[in-house]
Structure 1
Amino acid sequence: MGAFDYRNFDDRKKNSASAKQMLLEKFKARPPADDPEMIAKAEARAAIARAREERIREREAARIAAEKAAAEAKRAREEAELAAQIAREEEEARLAAERKAAVLIERKAARDARYAARKAKARR
């Protein structure tokens, strides 16, 4: 615990008044708004703010362009996958048709062989 503070109310009141007076003097010491130096500082701050806003716009435009490019790449990839799937399905359908045709040819050949055997048996 700290030592006992011997200051009284008058000391605290004087310190408070002097702090307020110092703040008032500091406020009064500011140059007026039409001072050329203040105008130059305000213009510099405005230029910095404009540059910051421009960088933000550029970053946003770059982000949008990247999103568009990613979406276009995704769409192209999906179209390529769809085209590949359609080609696979067409190939499968063609192979199935060829297998069906081959089975029909084999059945016809077997049927013709049975018919020829029956005819040969009947001739004997």
Structure 2
Amino acid sequence: MKHARNNDLSDRRSAAAEAKSALLNAFRTARTTDEPTRLARQAERATITAAREERRLKRERMKRDEAERQAAERQAAAAAALRAETEALEVAERNRIARVIDDEAARKAERDRRYANRKARRA
């Protein structure tokens, strides 16, 4: 816009109003012409957001499944350890009983041997 030396206030105000309306009209036309691309960008952003959310949910499911699997493994390991400990105690008890029986048999054999020796000396 050419600046004249004798610009009255009303001239400046009308020029500013015209410039403002021209900018507003330019914005409106640009917005209407860009409407399809704006909608396409919004749709693309929505699909990206949906894919991101789906990936996040999948990661959470995988983490939850992994945690459940590890908990099941820990529980199975604890149960196996408990079974092994119980079996070890049972084996130790059986061994102790077998030793007691063997000791009793040895003591009886020794007693029978002494008895037989005594009978042999008397005869």
Percent of matched pairs sharing the same residue = 17
The alpha-carbon deviation at position 64 of structure 1 amounts to 0.7
Q: Which residue of 2 aligns with 1:31?
A: 25
Instruction: After the TM superposition, list the runs of 4 or more consecutive aligned residues in structure 1 that deviate by more than 4 angstroms.
Output: 17-21, 32-35
Against the structure 1 CA distance between its residues 84 and 39, is the aligned structure 2 distance closer, same or farther, given a 3 Å change threshold? same
Q: Which amino acid aligns with 2:76?
A: A
**How far apart are 1:102 and its partner, in Å?**
0.6
What's 1:96 paired with? 89
| Structure showing greater Rg | 2
Question: Which structure is higher in helix share?
Answer: 2
Equivalent AA in structure 1 for residue 25 of structure 2:
P
Distance in 2 separating the partners of 1:88 and 1:113:
37
TM-score normalised by structure 2 residue count = 0.69
Match of 2:105 in 1: 112
Q: 1:49 to 1:109 in 2, by over 3 A?
A: same
- Cα offset, 1:80, TM superposition: 1.8
Aligned to 1:9: none
Question: TM-score of the superposition, structure 1-length normalised?
Answer: 0.68
Q: Which amino acid aligns with 2:62?
A: A
Q: Secondary structure at the match of 2:69?
A: helix
Say which structure, 1 or 2, has more relative contact order (CA 8 Å, 6+ apart). Answer: 1
Structure 1, unpaired ranges of 5+: 1-13
Aligned residues: 107
